[in-house]
Amino acid sequence: MKAMILAAGFGTRLKPLTDVTPKPLLPVAGTPMIVWNLLLLKRHGFQEVIINLHHLGAMIRQALGDGSGFGMQISYSHEPLILGTGGGIKQVEPYFQDEPVLVLNGDTLFELDLSALMAFHDEQQAAATLVLRRDSEAARWGLVEVTDRAEVVRITGRGSSMATPASARMFAGIHILHPRLLYALPAGKQSSIIDAYVQGIQDGERIMGYDFDGYWTDVGTPERYAQVERDAAAGMLSLSARKADSSV
């Protein structure tokens, strides 16, 4: 399976840091956030990764190169106009060769067994698997409704019109999808991947939720950036474990 890291965003809430450094290159415990995720991917057997770029994208390309330093192959997709989570993935649709792909955010740090996630996705024969978290403020992040059989039935109120009993979750921004779900998205235009998932639910595709209660943070504000540094210092996320199987 190939992977994609979304790294095109502006990092507006972390200004002025992101005026000169793209958010995925901001260091945590001395290592750029995006490298944390590359090392996690490598640990779970991923060898091919594509990264979308926009804001200060040349700096990311220069820092990571072709991936040989990580024992991986890294490709890049430049977006002259930022395309969002849907449009950015849609732009590189041919790269996936009609095979499922794992998608991560370049500014999210987490401790998740990606091998177990992939196994779940395969066992469920899912068109997509979204990593979900219990959160008392799930609606603030974007409410995902999931049945006791782990089927996603609605996202932000859209999807199935049936009155199916469901529990509230938030989407952690980690997901596996089959490229056929991208067919509904317009090419070359800004869109959200949530639109593809909502359409998939309405079309009867199997969209599954994978509950995850381990360490996770979206490093989107100065407060969360400071907190993740403290968490790394406390050993709540481990860079050494990610490096164990890496040539880095």
Amino acid at 70: F
pLDDT at 212: 96
Residue 233 counted as domain residue: no
Look up tokens 């540094």; give the residue. Answer: 229
**Would 243 be classed as within a structural domain?**
no
CA gap 128, 107 in Å, rounded: 22
Q: How far apart are CA 31 and CA 57, in angstroms?
A: 18
Instruction: Read off the pLDDT band of 202 (50, 70, 90).
Output: very high
Q: How many independent structural domains does the chain possess?
A: 1
Report yes or no on 242 lying in a domain: no
* pLDDT at residue 163 greater than cutoff 90: no
Average predicted confidence (pLDDT) for the chain: 93
List Cβ neighbours of 156 (8 Å cut-off, separation of 6 or more).
142, 143, 194
Is 245 domain-assigned?
no
Q: Confidence band (pLDDT; 50, 70, 90) for 201?
A: very high
DSSP string, 189-226: S---HHHHHHHHHHTT--EEEEE--S-EEE--SHHHHH
Pairing of strands 167-177, 108-110: unpaired
Strand runs labelled E in 101-238: 101-105, 108-110, 128-133, 143-146, 152-155, 158-159, 167-177, 207-211, 216-218
- Name the least confident of 12-26, 57-71, 87-101, 198-212: 12-26
Task: Count Cβ atoms below 10 Å from residue 194 Cβ, excluding itself.
Answer: 19
Residue 158 belongs to domain spanning = 2-227
pLDDT value at 196 more than 60: yes
- With vertex at residue 106, the alpha carbon angle to CA 240 and CA 46, rounded to the nearest 5 degrees, is 60
Q: Percentage of the chain with pLDDT > 70?
A: 96
**Which amino acid, 156?**
T
> Confidence band (pLDDT; 50, 70, 90) for 240?
low
Q: Reply yes or no on whether the pLDDT at 110 is more than 60.
A: yes
Exposure string for 105-137, b = 16+ CB within 10 A, e = fewer:
bbbbbbebebeebbebbeebebbbbbbbbebee
What's the whole-number mean pLDDT along residues 11-35?
91
CATH of the domain at 60: 3.90.550.10
Indicate the pTM of the whole model: 0.93
Token pair 């956030």: residue: 33
What is the tens place of the pLDDT at every residue in 164-194? 889 999 999 999 999 999 998 999 999 999 9
Structural domain includes residue 237: no
Question: Which tens digits make up the pLDDT trace of 27-45?
Answer: 999 999 999 999 999 999 9
List, as one string, the DSSP characters of 3-45: EEEE-----GGGTTHHHHS-GGGSEETTEEHHHHHHHHHHHTT
- In a domain, residue 241? The reply is no
Residue 247 lies in a domain: no
Does the residue 238 lie in any domain? Answer: no
